Chains A and B, each alone.
Chain A
Amino acid sequence: MEVSALMSRRLRVAGTFEAVFDDMYAKGFTDGLPVIPPTEESVAAMLAGAQVGADEVIAVVPPDNPSVTAEKAAINAVMAGCLPEYFPVVLAALKAVAEPGFNLLGVQATTNPVAPVLVINGPIRNDLNINCRRGCLGPGWRANATIGRALRLTLMNCGGCPPGDIDKAIHGMPGKFTFCFGELEEDSPWEPLHVERGMSREQNAVTAFGGQGTQNILAFFRSPEGIVHVVADGMRCYGYNGYLRALGNPLIVMTPGHARIFAQHGWDKKRIKHELFTQAQIPRSHIPSEQQLLTPVYVDHSPDQMCLPCESEDDIAIVVAGGPEAYHVTYIPSFGNTALSTEEILVPQRSGQ
């Protein structure tokens, strides 16, 4: 595309790349980490990666609610360090979080430590080398690191939501830099997440959760009953937002090793979700009856009535990812006031394909 078609304001800095970073940091354009300067050429290349027009509106992003164009998303993707072939995933993620049910305004501005958690499904995981295996929630993979970061920079810069200001998170959390991984579909005995959500295995998809960090649960049991018991015990914390409204999508990231144990004993996802939902409930009598700052849905429950981690067992999501050992389970509590959102990743057809 012609770079002259790019409509964004041009800013000029004398000096080196370090001077550009200093300038962008001073203007509040970064997350504090170094960024790649988004030049006309690099932004045009990013747009070409998705074969999308610069002026195409992708999403409305609160709290400022501008219509965010592909150009603005591409600028932030360049800054994050994305390769152009990652850009279709970034665009799909942006569309996913803009779905009304995701409640992006709440996610952006709340005092909670919440960020979009992106789960990638489909063949594109392998095409882009998105880590689904050991260390998938940690550092070391460019796609995981930069796709999630591109979304966060776009939300901050375009939505008008600088951390510590409009973003009111009391503590924040590291996942506000980036939070993206793939499901290890090849080593899962069950349907992958995007198939559960109505897509085919051949489709590429991103599912966004409003997640509140990671909690590790050491699950050394070898029986399904034992594993479910310790995971439910980790989930059973009435300080999690889900209990406040009995809403949201608690996310379980389970290794292929644990998934294999369940499958060998004939347990499917539905049964695991049922057991977790049942065992993670908390009797009202366990929670002090004094008035809280925010009135929870269980305020008028009788003492033996149960408080729910989410609305129904179907709201619990299970994704297989991580190293092969049946050691650790990662629990990602939900913001509560949010519903997961799945969006197809539209990968452009290249010539010769």
Chain B
Amino acid sequence: MEIKSPTFKQNSHDALANEQLQKALGNVRSGFIDKRRKAADRLPEFDALRDEAKRIKDHALAHLDLYLEAYERKVTASGGHVHWAETAEDARRIVLDICRASGARTVTKGKSMITEEIALNDHLEKNGIRAVETDLGEYIIQLRGEHPSHIIAPAVHLNKEQVESDFRRVHDHLPVARDLSEPESLLNEARMVLRKEYVTADVGITGANFLVAETGSSIIVTNEGNGDLTQILPKVHVVVASIEKIVPTLEDASQILRVLARSATGQDMSVYTTVSTGPRRKSDPDGPQEYHVVLLDNGRSSMLGTEFQDMLRCIRCGACMNHCPVYHAVGGHAYGWVYPGPMGAVLTPSLIGVDKSGHLPNASTFCGRCESVCPMRIPLPKMMRHWREREFERRLNPFSQRFGLKFWAFFARRPGLYKLGTGLTTPLLSLLGGRKKRLRRLPFASGWTRFRDLPAPESRTFMQQWRDRETQKQEAHR
């Protein structure tokens, strides 16, 4: 996937000017936040479960090598195959080989951010294999040649008119006179069109919300049932999952499941939570004949043992971006790659380098709302600050910014000079502010004054006034 993160500022500018996008983002702000709040309020144990979920993941990560080995043993014992992919390229190659080996022409896909990360669809298409997204939101954006703008609601940036226009353009075998003015009719059409794909696909590819070491199972969580149709109808089921998806036991999965849907959509439980283990047994009249798991590293092992390890607890619920004022303003595409919002700001530099994605951890007010709603207690602002530290060390920020900061710090470390300098600038600014007590323009401050007036200071600094008051007090005592 083309990386557009370096042009984050331009992307944001375009996003802010996009009226239709701004209207769609209003839905994110109101819908998701209220729903999560209600679900959390309805479960007294919610916060305790978040703490437990964090503990489980930390334990799993501290023993990741052993749980991965245990997981592999169980998958193999149940008749499945485990493939280990160090890089995105390895993963693409492995999946393509599996598809080729089964003579696949069409592949159905459950919703999987990992397959976006490794740009799997493009690779399959380039090699003559049709990859059809089945999650309604993913299907819609696939028709548009777009990428998801939200990790659980991929088409959140679109309105129904846009969807109608795409359906009419692509489903050209259907009667032109049909009514597609309501979301219901769009859903029915997608259901009908995709039903054909499900039953003719040769291979079904899904991600995994969890990989369970105890049983060698993969767990997917959907509301539509598309993931299930993807994985039970074709001859071959391929699971692509990054290594940190491992949890030790089914109970561990259950604990985390309790905070997943509530944090994502405000549901107590998603409609379909499916635990799959290996290919069909002799006693199964349906189900895939082959079951493959592609375990992907792609930078995860480099995060272990570093100040970014906590990010490996992420369960991709999307709560952080649902609550982020920056995401509300610019939407997901502005972030320029696969993962948007606060989790994207922390994860993206680890995966594609901070030199390409430095804007992401910088475009944050550190309001802390993301951390306050994260079900896995990930300290997102702290890790964004760590990225800023790495950039500072490597001198990746613009010279003007570094200079400005160094200038300020120089004075802040020297109280005497500080008082001298501020004792001069404050009265000056106060004068410039005039009777109105505010400035519309100020040299070097266009970042502020472009959109806001700058409130003018009072005529002298606090320290100046305080010193005078203290001096007066002492003289009064004489």
* A and B: bona fide binding partners: no
Contacts from A to B (Cβ < 8 Å): none
